[in-house]
Chain A
Amino acid sequence: MKILVTSAMSAMGRTVAGALKKHDVKLTDLTGGCTGGIVANNLNHDAETDRLVDGVEAIIHTGYEGQEGDASSLLDYYSRRTYNLLLAASNARVDRCIYISTLKLLQDYEENLTVTERWRSHPPSNDPALLACHIGELVCKEFARDRLIKVATLRLGWPIVTGQRSKATATGETAALATDDLATVLNAALGAKIEQWQDVHVQSPAPGQRYLLHAAQKLFSFPVPPPTPPGQPVARKGARR
Chain B
Amino acid sequence: MKVLLLGGNGMLGPWVVKAMADRHQLRVTDVNEPRKGFKHEFRNLDASNLDAVLRAAEGMDCIVNLSVLRHDRKLAWDVSTRGNYNMMAAAVEHGIRRVVNTGPHFQLSGPQYEDWDFGLNPDMPPQPGTRLYALSKAMGQEICRVFAERHDLYVITLLYYNMKLPGSLAAPLEKQVNYHDDMTPFSLAWTDCGEAVRCAVEVELSKLPSRCETFHTFSDIPHDKFKSDKIQRVLGFRPRYHLEAMWNKGYKTT
Q: Which residues of A contact B (CB under 8 A)?
A: 44-45, 71-72, 75-76, 79-80, 83-84, 87, 122-126, 131, 134-135, 138-139, 142-143, 145-146, 148
Contact = CB atoms under 8 A, between A and B. Distances in A.
B210 interface: no
Given A135-B139, A139-B135, A145 B112 contact: yes
B139 A79 contact: yes
Contacts of A134: 142, 146
Question: Nearest 10 A-B pairs (CB), nearest first?
Answer: A80-B77, A45-B73, A125-B150, A125-B147, A79-B81, A146-B130, A79-B77, A142-B130, A125-B146, A79-B139
Given A135-B81, A135-B139, A146 B146 contact: no
Contact of B85 (A71, A83, A123, A138): A71
Contacts of B147: 125
Contacts of B130: 83, 87, 142-143, 145-146, 148
Interface string B53-88: 000000000000000000001100110011001001
A79 B136 CA distance: 8
Given A75-B85, A87-B130, A125-B151, A135 B135 contact: no
B216 to A, nearest CB: 21
B139 A131 contact: no
Interface string B101-144: 00000000010100000000000000111101001101100110
B128 A122 contact: no
Interface in B147-165: 147, 149-151
Most buried by A among B132, B138, B143, B147: B143
Interface residues of B, number: 29
Contact of A125 (B81, B88, B129): B88
Contact of B81 (A44, A75, A142): A75
Contact of B128 (A72, A123, A135, A142): A142
B89 interface: yes
B139 A138 contact: yes
Contact of B129 (A72, A76, A146): A146
A102 to B, nearest CB: 16
Given A80-B73, A134-B146, 18 more contacts: A45-B74, A71-B50, A75-B81, A76-B82, A79-B77, A79-B139, A80-B136, A83-B130, A83-B135, A122-B149, A125-B92, A125-B143, A125-B149, A126-B150, A135-B139, A142-B138, A143-B130, A145-B112
Contacts of B78: 76, 80
27 contacts: A44-B74, A45-B74, A71-B89, A75-B81, A75-B82, A75-B85, A79-B136, A79-B139, A80-B74, A80-B77, A83-B77, A83-B135, A84-B73, A125-B92, A125-B147, A125-B149, A126-B150, A131-B146, A138-B138, A138-B139, A139-B135, A139-B139, A142-B110, A142-B130, A142-B138, A145-B130, A146-B130
Nearest to A149: B130
A57 B25 CA distance: 56
Interface of B is mostly: helix
A214 B87 CA distance: 39
Residue among A79, A83, A131, A134 with the most chain B CB within 10 A? A79
B67 to A, nearest CB: 16
B142 A135 contact: yes
A151 B110 CA distance: 19
A20 B129 CA distance: 31
A142 B110 CA distance: 10
A112 B74 CA distance: 43
B50 A72 contact: yes
A146 B130 CA distance: 7
Contacts of A44: 74
Nearest to A81: B77
Contact of B77 (A71, A76, A87, A148): A76
B3 to A, nearest CB: 23
A125 B143 CA distance: 8
Nearest to B150: A125
A150 to B, nearest CB: 14
Nearest to A136: B139
A193 to B, nearest CB: 23
Contacts of A125: 88, 92, 143, 146-147, 149-151
A203 B112 CA distance: 34
Nearest to B127: A145
